[in-house]
Amino acid sequence: MFKKIIKATSFSQQEKIVERYMKEVNDIQAAGISRRELFKMGLTAGVGGLTTIGGGVFLPNLAQAASSSTSIISPPCNKPWTEPLPIPKTAVSVGNFTGPEADKGQCLEKQNLYNPGNGPIGDYEDFIEARADEHQRWDELGGLAACTKYELMAKEIDWNFYSLAEYPAFNSKVWTYVDMNSDSNGEFATGVLRLKAQYGSPVLMRMYNGLPKGDRDTQGFGINQCSPHLHNAHNPPESDGGPMRFFDSGKWWDYWYPNIRAGFASTHKTGTFRTDTANPKGLWCPGDWQETQSTLWFHDHRMDFTAQNVYKGMASFYTLFSKDINLDTDDETIGLRLPSGKYDIPLLFTDKVFDQTGQMFFDTFNIDGILGDQQTVNFKIKPYLTVDRRKYRFRFLDAGPSRYIELSLSNAAKFTRIANCGNLLPKAQIVSSIRLGVAERADVIIDFSTYKPGTVIYLENRLEQLNGKGTTGKILASSSKTQLLKFIVSSATVVDNSASLATLQTQVMVPMPDRTKNPIKIKRKFDFGTSNGAWNVNGKFFNPTIVSAYPIEGSQEEWTLTSPGGWSHPVHIHHEEFEVINRNGKAPAIDDLSRKDVVRIGDGAQGTAGTSSITFRMQFRDWIGDYPMHCHNVVHEDHAMMIRFKIVPPTDPNAGK
Amino acid sequence: MNKREFIKNLTGASLGVAALACIPESFAISVTPVIGNQVSRSKRTFPNVPVVTHEGKVVHFYDDLIKNKIVMINFTYTNCDGICPGMIANLKQVYKEFGARMGKDIFMYSISLQPEHDTPAVLKAFTELHKIKSGWTFLTGSKANIELLREHLGYKNSDPGLDKDNSQHLGVVKFGIESLERWGMAPALGDPKYLAEYIRWMEPNGSRPVLSEMMG
């Protein structure tokens, strides 16, 4: 009789139950029933701890809210829209590293540096570089002299995801990337950071690991080893941040991001020209200009701990501009004239569960996928943004860990979508909603100039998802629960030098790369399956010594991914962007019509429909070495839903295998 | 009647004589309030229920088997002729990888999915047949307690049909360093050398991936 638990059957029903449950908890607290009395009733709620639930019969709504004995419900957000949206702060480059100079190979000098994670309160420590591999093509691409340098540290900061007005004492321990140059004392720490980079200017990002060591409390999850992956830059493996290339607190790694377009050393050795009205003769760049990328992000990728460490906070933006060919310039008066500067705002969506003290909770024993009952934007629950009456560029990122989202505006206005998966589209798409699987990105233009001052518009996620396995594909009715971010239109008159909306909606941006000159010689199939609850690819479990494919450098291949259904998988392939050729044997629909690095397969891939098969073409150019392909439902990834491929020269004995 | 009285009365009604009589002694464990520290988190994650070892010893799951230890956990049953024989053989290789550390600071637990059949004596015979050595303990217990462990440790299949079918049980090993609250999981049929390595990689002074071994 203690197990009378009624399972909620839909998101909205579950929400109602939770609401009723929270009322009960509030009533109990208001009534001043003692802990002892509560204890006798079979539950303890709220007071300074997780809401723990036992003996479900006593309070029916409570019993229903906890669909299993391990469920946790976050403290409610009763004061929405009282906190401004945190704007990711742009890291500031350094002229010279404070420590030893960087080189092609591993730096063998030590650097004595304060490690906030060392000992109970932090202490100085001799940092060493963990990277062992040399940077490929370092000298050819200008070496150290060409680099813009950054010094970042992965460390623990204090952060409040909730409204300060409602929970002034909440203080979540977040692990994130901090720009040491602009944040030396940590007082300006923003949860989500941003690096701005330009094509033609390589970046050398020195990442120190200053995560807590020893027996410091980790709030129950996460590991103090990191491997920041720049998703999905065209980078060599030693700077890619792969799952096995993680390093410990007290070490650093020099990540070298050449910011050069794919094809530069293979299919487009002599470079390409982009012409526009301002440059009728064209502007030259190395590689294929049609491989220009724009919105990337970097996040931890430590094998088996990616979900925990990214959930812990290690996720930031890397926005790559292309001023060299007068395209996406970071200046709204030139090039494509996209809204720029303070009108170019990245938005990171991630959902979390909090305990009653405001700490993040992560169930390390969950195997399906983690769903949070609080959805956050740039690490805030229900923030607001006062917008000027002009055009903005927002860069949406679904940072998971497992939730699919479908974004729309509460006034039913349409987005002008200019990029998919971080890649500028051939031409903008005018769409009323945008679905994103974990790690997928979308850049949109929203024009607030036509709204009256004081107008309120909400950015919403109305996609139903009931568990970590994936979305149902159902679109929920708009409600306070689906609202993520509140836009308030200000009365200020401001200049808008970006192109007119009509131009932004019609101008040619980046046509799809021409793949016809690189014939397909090899086709491969990968089936994402499961047996006895363990993920496998082509029937095999992940093994770090096994390389599943050896594409030849410079070649193009056709890969087909299949999934048996019952699950949703956003599959990510490192190294290059690919082009979807067909989905379920049919021509790709709008979401697939771009260069991509994450593709949704399985249930709810598009609409409510499942996808059993997807075929894409991908080139493997310029860099030699190993990269993974994995499910970006990071819980699945951590449970070995992954393979590795290795790009080899044509002379390699394994070439093409 | 004010609100406080109303709720108090409601409490009384809910805790009627019949209900009170039904509260088992162990009930107190599952309602321990959890606050934001490691002790309370561990209590919440790991039910401290009594289980019986293949040696016939009654032990508490958290206090005696998990607390401050490095552990590997899996679920199996002696009658299993599906993936279990392969799993046991593979985990014996993992055991070998750790050598003398097994039973010292690293422990392996195989929890029976058929506790009604797998009595301590049956488990004992099984361990003798398979030459299971110290540091690897087979566990059984009341059906309710085993179910509780299965639920808390994430061994329930979210597909109810598959969950009922023991032959489809989750063939994964969960491993962790309890004192550091580091937990991972891997397929039980994965490469045994790397199953051991995954644990060492989590240790502050353990080994680290050797990339040259992973280049195919």
Are A509 and B179 in contact by the 8 Å Cβ rule? The answer is no
Nearest residue of B to residue A172 by CA position? B36
Interchain contact, B38 vs A217, CB within 8 Å: yes
Confidence of residue A41 (pLDDT cuts 50, 70, 90): very low
Residue with tokens 């799952």: A243
Question: Within a domain: residue B23?
Answer: no
The percentage of residues in chain B with a pLDDT greater than 70, rounded to a whole number, is 83
Residue A603 has pLDDT above 90, yes or no: no
Domain count, chain A: 4
Question: Within a domain: residue A329?
Answer: no
Residue A499 has pLDDT above 80, yes or no: yes
Residue-averaged pLDDT of chain B: 85
- List CB contacts (< 8 A) between A2 and chain B: 22, 27
B192 interfaces chain A, CB cutoff of 8 Å: no
In this complex, the residue of A43, A365, A368 whose CB is nearest that of residue B183 is A365
Question: Within a domain: residue A492?
Answer: yes
Interchain contact, A543 vs B8, CB within 8 Å: no
* A543 and A476 fall within a common domain: no
State how far residue A640 is from chain B, nearest Cα, in angstroms. Answer: 7
Distance linking the first and last C-alpha atoms of chain A: 59
Between strands A123-129 and A111-115, the pairing is antiparallel
Interchain contact, B7 vs A640, CB within 8 Å: no
Confidence of residue A18 (pLDDT cuts 50, 70, 90): very low
pLDDT of residue B28: 28
Question: Within a domain: residue A462?
Answer: yes
pLDDT of residue A89: 93
Confidence of residue A188 (pLDDT cuts 50, 70, 90): low
- List CB contacts (< 8 A) between B11 and chain A: 33, 37, 40-41, 58
Confidence of residue A4 (pLDDT cuts 50, 70, 90): very low
A219 interfaces chain B, CB cutoff of 8 Å: yes
pLDDT of residue A604: 85
Interchain contact, A31 vs B185, CB within 8 Å: no
Question: Within a domain: residue B6?
Answer: no
Residue A441 has pLDDT above 60, yes or no: yes
A271 interfaces chain B, CB cutoff of 8 Å: no
- List CB contacts (< 8 A) between A50 and chain B: 33-36, 40, 44
- Cα separation, A399 vs A299, in Å, equals 9
* Residue B106 structural domain: 34-210
Residue-averaged pLDDT of chain A: 89
CATH of the domain at A253: 2.60.40.420
A49 interfaces chain B, CB cutoff of 8 Å: yes
Residue B57 Ramachandran class (φ > 0 left, ψ -120 to 50 alpha, else beta): beta
Range A303-311 average pLDDT? 97
- List CB contacts (< 8 A) between B82 and chain A: 532
Question: Within a domain: residue A559?
Answer: yes
Last residue of a domain, one of A506, A531, A561: A506
* A350 and A480 fall within a common domain: yes
Residue A92 has pLDDT above 60, yes or no: yes
Question: Within a domain: residue B51?
Answer: yes
User: pLDDT (tens digit, 9 = 90+) per residue, A462-473?
Assistant: 999 998 888 999
More confident residue, A581 or A187: A581
Residue A29 has pLDDT above 60, yes or no: no
Q: From residue A189, give the alpha-carbon distance in Å to each of A148, A179, A184, B214.
A: 22, 8, 9, 37
Residue with tokens 């760049």: A285
User: Which residue type, as a one-letter code, is found at position A128?
Assistant: I
Interchain contact, A43 vs B11, CB within 8 Å: no
Range A325-329 average pLDDT? 98
* A498 and A533 fall within a common domain: no
Tokens linked to A191: 């949860």
Residue A50 has pLDDT above 80, yes or no: no
Domain count, chain B: 1
In this complex, the residue of A41, A534, A542 whose CB is nearest that of residue B11 is A41
* A470 and A530 fall within a common domain: no
B16 interfaces chain A, CB cutoff of 8 Å: no
Interchain contact, B211 vs A133, CB within 8 Å: yes
- Cα separation, B142 vs B165, in Å, equals 19
Contacts of A50 (CB under 8 A, 6+ apart): A72, A355, A356, A361, B33, B34, B35, B36, B40, B44
* A28 and A119 fall within a common domain: no
B180 interfaces chain A, CB cutoff of 8 Å: yes
Interchain contact, B214 vs A30, CB within 8 Å: no
CATH of the domain at B137: 3.40.30.10
User: pLDDT (tens digit, 9 = 90+) per residue, B55-67?
Assistant: 999 999 999 999 9
A52 interfaces chain B, CB cutoff of 8 Å: yes
Tell which A residues from 514 to 553 touch B, by Cβ distance under 8 Å: 531-536, 541-547, 550
* A475 and A405 fall within a common domain: yes
The percentage of residues in chain A with a pLDDT greater than 70, rounded to a whole number, is 88
Are A378 and A327 in contact by the 8 Å Cβ rule? The answer is no
Question: Within a domain: residue A82?
Answer: no
Interchain contact, B172 vs A536, CB within 8 Å: no
CA nearest to B172, candidates A635, A615, A526, A419:
A635
* A310 and A224 fall within a common domain: yes
More confident residue, A73 or A431: A431
pLDDT of residue A402: 95
pLDDT of residue A464: 94
pLDDT of residue B167: 86
Least confident span in A14-18, A125-129, A480-484: A14-18
User: Which residue type, as a one-letter code, is found at position A213?
Assistant: K
pTM: 0.89
pLDDT of residue A90: 94
A133 interfaces chain B, CB cutoff of 8 Å: yes
Residue A390 has pLDDT above 80, yes or no: yes
In this complex, the residue of B19, B31, B211 whose CB is nearest that of residue A44 is B31
* A263 and A351 fall within a common domain: no
Question: Within a domain: residue B3?
Answer: no
Are A39 and A52 in contact by the 8 Å Cβ rule? The answer is no
* A453 and A529 fall within a common domain: no
Q: Is B96 helix (H, G, I), strand (E, B) or coil?
A: helix
Q: Within a 10 A sphere around the Cβ of A158, how many other Cβ atoms? A: 11
Interchain contact, B216 vs A626, CB within 8 Å: yes
pLDDT of residue A261: 98
Question: Within a domain: residue A70?
Answer: no
pLDDT of residue A187: 56
Count of pairs with CB atoms under 8 A, one residue in A, one in B:
201
In this complex, the residue of A220, A246, A543 whose CB is nearest that of residue B194 is A543
Which residue ranges in chain B fall short of pLDDT 50?
A: 1-35
Nearest residue of B to residue A70 by CA position? B152
In this complex, the residue of B28, B185, B201 whose CB is nearest that of residue A639 is B185
- Cα separation, A203 vs A17, in Å, equals 50
User: pLDDT (tens digit, 9 = 90+) per residue, A202-232?
Assistant: 999 999 999 999 889 999 999 999 999 999 8
Confidence of residue A71 (pLDDT cuts 50, 70, 90): low
The percentage of residues in chain A with a pLDDT greater than 90, rounded to a whole number, is 78
pLDDT of residue A185: 60
Interchain contact, A49 vs B40, CB within 8 Å: yes
B100 interfaces chain A, CB cutoff of 8 Å: no
Least confident span in A195-209, A240-254, A366-380: A366-380
Handedness of CA A72, A75, A78, A83 (dihedral sign): negative
A29 interfaces chain B, CB cutoff of 8 Å: no
User: Which residue type, as a one-letter code, is found at position A293?
Assistant: Q
* A370 and A316 fall within a common domain: no
B163 interfaces chain A, CB cutoff of 8 Å: no
- Cα separation, A314 vs A221, in Å, equals 13
- List CB contacts (< 8 A) between B14 and chain A: 41, 57-59
* A457 and A535 fall within a common domain: no
More confident residue, A381 or A35: A381
Question: Within a domain: residue B27?
Answer: no
Residue A477 exposed, middle or buried by CB count within 10 Å (0-12, 13-18, 19+): exposed
- List CB contacts (< 8 A) between B188 and chain A: 534
Interchain contact, B154 vs A357, CB within 8 Å: no
Question: Within a domain: residue B52?
Answer: yes
Question: Within a domain: residue A91?
Answer: no
Are B176 and B184 in contact by the 8 Å Cβ rule? The answer is yes
Interchain contact, A217 vs B37, CB within 8 Å: yes
Q: In a mutagenesis test of the B interface, which of A47, A128, A365, A626 is the best target, namely the one with the most B β-carbons within 10 Å?
A: A365
A609 interfaces chain B, CB cutoff of 8 Å: no
Nearest residue of A to residue B197 by CA position? A544
* A57 and A190 fall within a common domain: no
Residue A167 has pLDDT above 90, yes or no: yes
Question: Within a domain: residue A334?
Answer: no
State how far residue B132 is from chain A, nearest Cα, in angstroms. Answer: 24
Range A404-409 average pLDDT? 97
Range A239-264 average pLDDT? 98
- Cα separation, A187 vs B108, in Å, equals 46
Residue A19 has pLDDT above 70, yes or no: no
Interchain contact, B174 vs A544, CB within 8 Å: no
Question: Within a domain: residue B14?
Answer: no
Q: In a mutagenesis test of the B interface, which of A33, A62, A532 is the best target, namely the one with the most B β-carbons within 10 Å?
A: A532
More confident residue, A11 or A228: A228
- List CB contacts (< 8 A) between A218 and chain B: 180-181
pLDDT of residue A493: 82
Q: From residue A395, give the alpha-carbon distance in Å to each of A122, A202, A346, A378, B49.
A: 36, 23, 4, 11, 49
* Residue A37 structural domain: 11-65
pLDDT of residue A256: 98
Interchain contact, B36 vs A49, CB within 8 Å: yes
Q: From residue A280, give the alpha-carbon distance in Å to each of A283, A284, A330, A336.
A: 9, 12, 21, 15
Longest Cα pair distance anywhere in chain A, in angstroms?
82
- List CB contacts (< 8 A) between B71 and chain A: none
Between strands A374-377 and A360-361, the pairing is unpaired
More confident residue, A233 or A190: A233
The interface predicted TM-score of the complex, written ipTM, equals 0.88
More confident residue, A590 or A286: A286
Interchain contact, B211 vs A221, CB within 8 Å: no
Residue A163 has pLDDT above 80, yes or no: yes
User: pLDDT (tens digit, 9 = 90+) per residue, B153-166?
Assistant: 999 988 888 888 88
Interchain contact, B209 vs A639, CB within 8 Å: no
